[in-house]
Amino acid sequence: MESDVRLRARQLPMRFEVPDVPAFHFFLSTAARYPKNVAFVYHRTLITYEEWQRLSRQFAAKLSGWIKKGDRVAIYMPNCPQFAIAYMAILMAGGVFVSCNPMLTPYELDYQLRDSCVEIMVTTEDLLTKVRQCRSFSSLKQIIVARPHEECTSLLTAGESTTMSKDKECLSFRDMVNGGDDFRPVEIAASRDIAHIMYTGGTTGIPKGVIHTHANVVAAIFAALIMTTAVMPKRDEQGYWFTENDPKDLTPEWEYPFRVGRERALIMASWTHVMGLIHYLHQPIALAVKMLLLDHFDAGEFLRRLEEWEITWAGGSPTIIAYLLSHPNFEATDLSSLKVYTTGGSSLPEEHYYRFKEKIQGVIVEGYGLTESVPAACRTSYNRSSKMKIGSVGKVWPNLEVKVVDEIGQEVPAGQVGELIFKGPQVSSGYLNQPKETENTFRGGWLFTGDLARIDEEGDIFIVDRKKEMIIYKSYNVYPRELEEIMHQHPAVKECAVVGKKDLDTGEIPVAFVSCRTRKANAEDIKRFVNERVAPYKKIREIHLMEELPLSGSGKILKRELIKCLDS
């Protein structure tokens, strides 16, 4: 099923051969073609693509003395230039990037470090205390510590470090970018060599490390470029792939919003999340975008920056749009520069869509994806002339096949509900160290999403429900089984179940139903026990104590009955 009428009008193939290049290829290409373009604005520091490439080569030169191809290097920090510098260096040195969300607790972080056999960690001084609390701390060979705010300007000046880490056992990030400008990236076999291990939760309660090869990442970048510009990338005399605009899109009558080398993006989505990494780092790189980095979300600050910096591209969950719409400064803020806003993670209410669309006059793009599909599998059109179907997550992404199937894997007719499955070169091959989960999810080359959907006669995809029990809180995925496993460690807990409760501000909140071993058990004590061990977005918001939880004939907890209790 084809993604966009205008793509066909421009005679672009919806199937293409993925170039055999590494995931950092477009980074090198943009640095060569747009060296003086600003890549980042971070507080008062500006870093160009040329400077970013130099710093990453220097970092990679040092890193290559410690690792061989395939060794795992974790980044545990918020978005900042140091993250981007280290990330590209890891790939160029042949390492595997292991993403660690900076909100992870030591308990959660330790599991990921041990599961992926991380040997080198890049983090910040603020997070170093958490790293030290991990059982796997002693097995780390090197810890590189950044001070994002203090050292950013000094990264661009030669000489010895003036921002040494206060911890003698750690290396200063500043000392990783001295010398090594002529470092040559390691040769990469794109279809075999792993670029990322990115963790996602699951119904097993155990986070799963999703494997992304370099080819998976390149396929995702290529598809994104085609969808956002409706122009097929070309290859120059140096062998670099690049994108040019259709001439019409450089005029006020543009159809597709992205102009190569001219856009300004407000970046807030975490690069430790696959959506942030692919669509708010790799995609901007390939389009030579100026990225303005925000440390955190504040609706007033977000609106102020959109207007002050004349942002042309931004994105965030439907929850963020709701916060912006309800802010007292929304109506007075000039958002006319905003040409595209991308959203996903949960459904965007129709009222919110039309209010925001009228304000920005640009395109609102809604999509669906998973860590396993790296990540976008379908999106509504970036074409300004296209008609939005409210409730749809768009058509299938280029180079992907899509089906809706029944319980035995047979495709169902258009309009009928079944499980949504995808197949294509950007789809992951499986999970790290979890062969059974891989076998269950990846079958015959198809990714079985576990989500229920229908596809209409025109190929538009509508997500109906989540077959899995995942809760979406402010666009973050929260997995009940993980919380239940921790709750079961509390001595007073006999049985427990976590479900999602609808919430106007956040989408859903995690709520627990608990039966206890003793009448003296305290709900607040149980809630505190769990919440101390998980990231803020996973915290239990309510606990309901019950004599017994409702069970099926086979002894399974009937979560649908618990959800009915919430609804009533």
Q: Where is average pLDDT lowest: 39-43, 273-277, 344-348?
A: 344-348
Residue 320 CA to residue 333 CA, distance in Å, equals 16
Integer CA distances (angstroms), 537 to 98, 202, 216, 228, 321, in order: 21, 16, 29, 31, 18
Collect all residues with Cβ–Cβ distance below 8 Å to 170 and sequence separation of at least 6. 128, 143, 144, 145
Architecture of domain 5-16+214-466: 3-Layer(aba) Sandwich (3.40)
Angle among Cα 318, 99, 163 to the nearest 5 degrees reads 105
Asked if the model's pLDDT at residue 20 lies above 90, the reply is: yes
Whether the predicted pLDDT of 151 surpasses 90? no
Domain ranges of the chain: 5-16+214-466, 48-187, 471-567
Q: Which of the four pLDDT bands, split at 50, 70 and 90, describes residue 555? A: low
Q: How far is Cα of residue 521 from the mean position of the Cα atoms in its chain?
A: 39
CATH topology of domain 48-187: Rossmann fold (3.40.50)
pTM for the model: 0.87
**Which class for 205: exposed (0-12), middle (13-18), buried (19 or more C-beta within 10 A)?**
middle
3-state SS of 4-69 is CHHHHHCCCCCCCCCCCCCCCHHHHHHHHHCCCCEEEEECCEEEEHHHHHHHHHHHHHHHCCCCCC
Long-range own/partner contacts, residues 489-496 (CB < 8 A, 24 or more apart): 489/529, 490/525, 490/526, 490/529, 490/530, 491/517, 492/516, 492/517, 492/518, 492/520, 492/521, 492/522, 492/525, 492/526, 493/517, 493/521, 493/526, 495/548, 495/549, 495/557, 496/549
Q: Which residue, chain included where needed, has tokens 């409702």?
A: 550
Please state, in angstroms and rounded to a whole number, the distance separating the CA atoms of residues 184 and 92.
Answer: 8
The one-letter code for the residue type at 497 is A
Which of 43, 39, 41 minimizes the C-alpha distance to 289? 39
The pLDDT, as a whole number, for residue 391 is: 86
**277-287: pLDDT as tens digits:** 999 999 999 99
Task: State the virtual CA torsion across 16, 22, 26, 31 in degrees, nearest 10.
Answer: -160
22-31, 182-191, 476-485: the lowest-pLDDT one = 476-485
Does pLDDT of 537 surpass 70? yes
Q: How confident is the model over 507-530, as pLDDT tens digits? A: 999 999 999 988 888 999 999 999
Mind listing the pLDDT tens digit for each residue in 495-508?
889 999 999 889 99
In the beta sheet, which residues pair with residue 72? 96
- Predicted confidence (pLDDT) at residue 225 exceeds the cutoff of 90: yes
For the chain, the farthest-separated pair of C-alpha atoms sits apart, in whole angstroms, at 76
Spell 11-36 as b/e; 16+ CB within 10 A means b.
Answer: ebebebebbebbbbbbbbbbbebbee
* Per-residue CA distances from 554 to 91, 203, 205, 495, 549 (Å): 49, 19, 21, 15, 14
3-state secondary structure of 389: coil
Q: What is the mean pLDDT of residues 189-216?
A: 88
Q: What string of DSSP letters covers 159-178?
A: SS-SS--S-TTSEEGGGGGS
Q: For residues 319 and 505, give the distance between their C-alpha atoms in angstroms, rounded to a whole number.
A: 6
Nearest one of 189, 184, 229 to 381, comparing CA atoms? 229
Highest mean pLDDT of the ranges 136-150, 297-311, 482-496: 297-311
How confident is the model at residue 3, as a pLDDT?
42
Domain 5-16+214-466 and domain 48-187 have a common topology: yes
Is pLDDT of 429 > 50? yes
Q: Domain spanning 471-567: which superfamily?
A: ANL, C-terminal domain (3.30.300.30)
Nearest Cα to Cα of residue 512 among 520, 529, 504, 101:
529
